[in-house]
Amino acid sequence: MSLEIKVPTVGESITEVTIGEWFKKDGDKVEMDEVICELESDKATFELTAEAAGILTINAQEGETLEIGAVICTIDTEPSAGSSSNSGIGADPQAGQDILKKSATTDAPSSGATGEVKEMIVPTVGESITEVTMATWLKEDGSYVELDEIIAEVDSDKATFELPAEATGILRHVAAEGDTIEIGGLICKIEVTEGGAPSENKGGSPSEASVPAQGSVSGKDTYATGHASPAAAKILAEKGISADEIKGTGKDGRITKEDAEKAEKKAPAAPTAESKPASKAVAPSQEAPKVAGSRDTKREKMSSLRRTIARRLVSVKNETAMLTTFNEVNMKPIMDLRKQYKDQFKEKHQVNLGFMSFFTKAVCVALQEWPAVNAQIDGNEIVFNDFCDISIAVSSPKGLVVPVIRNAEGMSFDQIEKEVVRLAIKAREGKLSIDEMTGGTFTLTNGGIFGSMMSTPIINAPQSAILGMHNIVERPMAVNGEVVILPMMYLALSYDHRIIDGRESVSFLVRVKQLLEDPARLLLGV
């Protein structure tokens, strides 16, 4: 029987794909679920797997563009006994299946196989998320998995999600680590079994299967052995250390975050006298000086979050009429107030009194007085918000994230400080939910904590304005005809000139300056 393999649906907005590369030749014997070619769309690259075992007949060549649903190849699932492909196993279609199953790490018990194959697709993880990146497989290909067991981690541009198994059986990977998959795309298959886990003793001696090695849970290397967790992998990449260079102390030898933090890059071995090639004496003027040092380079694939940040920043620069206006603030009144009451504040509310609560309260007052700064464009309409959802830019290990403080206009100083701390901790631990990062009507970003003196922050679309805070520096200032040394901070308001005029932007920033330099106004509402 001849089975037609068609171009699968790989995304709602994708209508055609291009044949990137054939991994099998016309007339080759293929096994079920074997990757036979690579397809390219305008958004991502996908692997096409064989839907049955048999002889491959290619219909479309590399470089051809096909519409979704078009026939890309056929597979003869009943090849003749005289077929020369793959050393004589082509006469029996089931033989290919048996070989494929034998190659798996763990086989399902023959008495428990149901014949059903559960296809797992990338679930919908948020309204604005259209694709995810396969971060880490926690269960290796061919391993036995239980229903609801966590088998993988996937990264979106906003958060990391765990993927649970949707059935009990043998896991077959479809997507590899690092692959980008659209929502609804196929990520893996599970060959459903019944009757519990398969035998661990197939193909090995009883002693190997039943007696764990000393200091090991399984008695042999597993997928986890020498594999770094996502947090550990990032730390190792920053240090320029390969996972092969260190030994993991986690379960089954997995490299933990602590292992990565303790790891040190090995110094390159000094060349011995014997290894140095003899060279002719050259006059100093004829040869450039040789400076010792490494000239190694490395390539690192951009994370889904980083790619999304890059795409959005470029989009904002291209699609908005962005301008920036500046002012400066005397921070001495706030610093004196914090110094006077910080101990009592912390004792009563169990949280430090920081600058963020003052800035949040000040911008909420100014936003309500200048509503255009708190608005956004939706098509041909301007949406005005009567609430202030303040986005706080936080630098996390995976990149910049912007969690939101909801209805900040009605919160007290201690409530704002506690919410800032809560969101910052979750951001750095990578545990922010989609809801905590969506929405927002205005953004605060504090480059001053890194020492920034001046910047022009980019608007956090679809918002229309962002306020940049900077480093506090003591500078000589003229006060009542005298030179006084004051702690000063530059403020930068970037705004969309399509809906915010110069009068509104400048007046907004002047009002924020007024409230910060006289914080009693925040308490009195004047």
Residues involved in catalysis:
497, 501
Given a contact cutoff of 8 angstroms between Cβ atoms, the answer to whether 352 and 420 are in contact is no
CB 131 within 8 A of CB 44: yes
Instruction: With beta carbons less than 8 A apart as the criterion, state whether 377 and 321 touch.
Output: no
Q: How far apart are the C-alpha atoms of 41 and 65, rounded to whole Å?
A: 9
* CA–CA dist 74, 495 (Å, integer): 57
Identify the H or E element spanning 483. strand 482-496
Instruction: Give the contacts of 296 (CB within 8 A, at least 6 positions apart).
Output: 240
| Residue 77 CA, distance from chain mean position | 41
| DSSP β-ladder status, 381-383 and 322-330 | unpaired
Count of other CB atoms within 10 angstroms of residue 423: 21
- If phi over 0 gives left and psi between -120 and 50 gives alpha, with beta otherwise, what is residue 507? alpha
Cα 33 versus chain centre, distance: 28
Which tokens is 21 given?
A: 């590369």
Pairing type for strands 160-164 and 150-155 reads antiparallel
The residue behind tokens 């999600």 is 161
The helix (H) or strand (E) run that includes residue 236 is helix 230-239
DSSP letter, residue 443: E
